[in-house]
Amino acid sequence: MTAFWQDLGLPGLIDIHTHFMPANVLAKVWAYFEGGQFGRPWPIYYRRPEAERLALLRAFGVRRFTGLLYPHKPDMAAWLNSWSAAFAADNPDVLHSATFFPEPGAAGYVAEALAGGARVFKAHVQVGAYDPADELLTPVWGQLAEAGVPVVVHCGSGPTPGRFTGPQRFAPVLARHPALTAVIAHLGTPEYAEFLDLAGQYRNVHLDTTMAFTDFFAQLHPGQPFPASLLPRLAGLGDRILLGTDFPNIPYPYLTQLEALAGLDLGRPWLRAVCYDNAARLLHL
Q: At 230, phi and psi to the nearest 5?
A: -90, -5
| Bridge partners, 95 (sequence order) | 66
pLDDT digits (tens, 9 = 90+) for 184-194: 999 999 999 99
Predicted local confidence at residue 11, as pLDDT: 98
Looking at residues 38-61, what average pLDDT do you find? Answer: 95
Predicted local confidence at residue 224, as pLDDT: 86
Q: At 211, phi and psi to the nearest 5?
A: 70, -5
**Global pTM value:** 0.97
Domain that holds residue 24: 2-282
Predicted local confidence at residue 222, as pLDDT: 84
Neighbours of 111 (CB within 10 A): 14
Q: What is the CATH number of the domain that holds 230?
A: 3.20.20.140
Which positions ≥6 away from 63 have C-beta within 8 Å? 11, 12, 13, 14, 93, 276
pLDDT digits (tens, 9 = 90+) for 205-229: 999 999 999 999 999 888 788 999 9
User: How many independent structural domains does the chain possess?
Assistant: 1
Provide the H-helix boundaries in 35-189: 50-60, 77-90, 106-115, 125-128, 138-147, 167-176
Measured CA to CA, the distance from residue 56 to residue 183 in angstroms comes to: 25
Which positions ≥6 away from 83 have C-beta within 8 Å? 21, 22, 69
Closest CA to 136 of 103, 89, 99, 90: 103
Predicted local confidence at residue 223, as pLDDT: 79
pLDDT digits (tens, 9 = 90+) for 110-130: 999 999 999 999 999 999 999
Measured CA to CA, the distance from residue 69 to residue 81 in angstroms comes to: 8
Higher pLDDT, 177 or 41: 177
